[in-house]
A and B are shown apart, each in its own frame.
Chain A
């Protein structure tokens, strides 16, 4: 456990000195939090005056039996940003993990590192947690700011309350970490095979595609993301994570990496 902590501390000291990584980790949550708040702020008046039940999908309006049309519309707008917040726990760890693993390759630090009494499990756990913890901190911090910001902008307890319903809590605190683990596992696998951090990062970023498609489907009204969908995503991710972690640990073979990395 101590070596995992040592590894995490080193990763953070090193990776966050990389301007690109720091930019992604800092900018992405800021952008994904500011954008919905700006949209909410600008649509605040129009929502109250012109929009109502008829402007939201029937699946959503069915849940608005005790709220006004404007409140239902604003709750709908807010719910559209859920998938946006689920992109943060993927993009950040993928960026960190790609740089941290390929970085060991490019700086040739992996051989002295593997020559220490650290086990492969400790090494991978350190790298995975070093990438996952900031991503989750950023996701949860962004979510908290979004809840507070929504309350300040709309001053509507009904809309703010919709943000702390099980759907959101399950997505942010349950599915978010699972997505992070998937992102890191894929980054570890790709980083074990390529030599350029940018290539690793670009390939690893493909992991966000399913989520982007889901976001697109939701925006176009093709899919309605409710609690059931989030539960299914969570269950699927739990299984996928198990498989990915197994393959990531299998691919990260000390000998293969040392003898094949040039």
Chain B
């Protein structure tokens, strides 16, 4: 049973894990409420897997505290394990056992009440029911990943940790898994995703933490973009001239204006308010505007800049 006294489903305070001299996780403080998908991004060796292991009570913190579903790591580990589902980096399935046996075994360890029904439900949901009696060793990588996701959900955990959930999946299967994760959010679960797929994080996560042993940034993907790059508007012009840039740059609400490949890129605080005035002034000085749109930086740009600047 979830301890609902604490509204944040994942709450850490200065959480740290040291292996000898090495600080794998250093002073992590985050709070993730129910119904949120939280993306944890970082380079290889950044401590993401260690963070998941700390939060699933698999390893003990060196310093700081963590509460999962209201239970404290290190003190109520069995309660935490009952309330969290984990998709590990590799699926970790028993190759010689059938899909049904694999799930049945874990369902019994998780003390699931109606094992057979729950196993059938998830095997059907993830399209594996027809192959339930086949040894998992004969499954494709994508099928194994789906089975591992089913295992993480069998006991209906309130908190879910997914390490590279779409790793090795073809685009269609990856889409299915992403849609499935979105449905899980709607069920009110707190979901922490570790991924190197930045596009996926951008699509799924409500908030993103960029992490390299310590927290480098934490916000919504949109806010992170704004923090680093501000907001930019692109004017596609039939003929871009330097005077157009000079004209708009003189306005006090414009931060920068540059001509790039027949486009005028203007950075400003509040495009919704100032774009009409910008368009008017550009037309007045003879600019022929073909299209106007917001320049959208990818999460990859944000991530790479954060990690390189660190």
Contact = CB atoms under 8 A, between A and B. Distances in A.
B56 interface: yes
B151 interface: yes
Interface in A1-16: 2-3, 6-7, 9-10, 13-14
Interface residues of A, number: 27
A36 to B, nearest CB: 34
B109 interface: yes
Interface string A178-202: 0000000000000000000000000
Given A3-B108, A3-B109, A108-B92, A115 B97 contact: no
B53 A107 contact: no
A255 interface: yes
Interface string B65-105: 00000000000001001101010101111111100010001
B177 interface: no
B94 A115 contact: no
B95 A107 contact: yes
A20 to B, nearest CB: 12
B291 interface: no
Contacts, number: 75
A119 interface: yes
Contacts of A117: 78, 81-82, 109-111
- Highest count of chain B CB atoms <10 Å: which of A116, A118, A119: A116
Given A108-B88, A111-B92, 9 more contacts: A10-B94, A10-B97, A13-B96, A14-B96, A107-B93, A109-B93, A110-B92, A111-B86, A115-B84
21 contacts: A6-B108, A13-B96, A14-B97, A18-B96, A107-B95, A108-B90, A110-B92, A111-B88, A112-B86, A112-B88, A112-B92, A112-B106, A112-B151, A115-B58, A115-B84, A115-B88, A116-B110, A117-B109, A117-B111, A254-B59, A258-B58
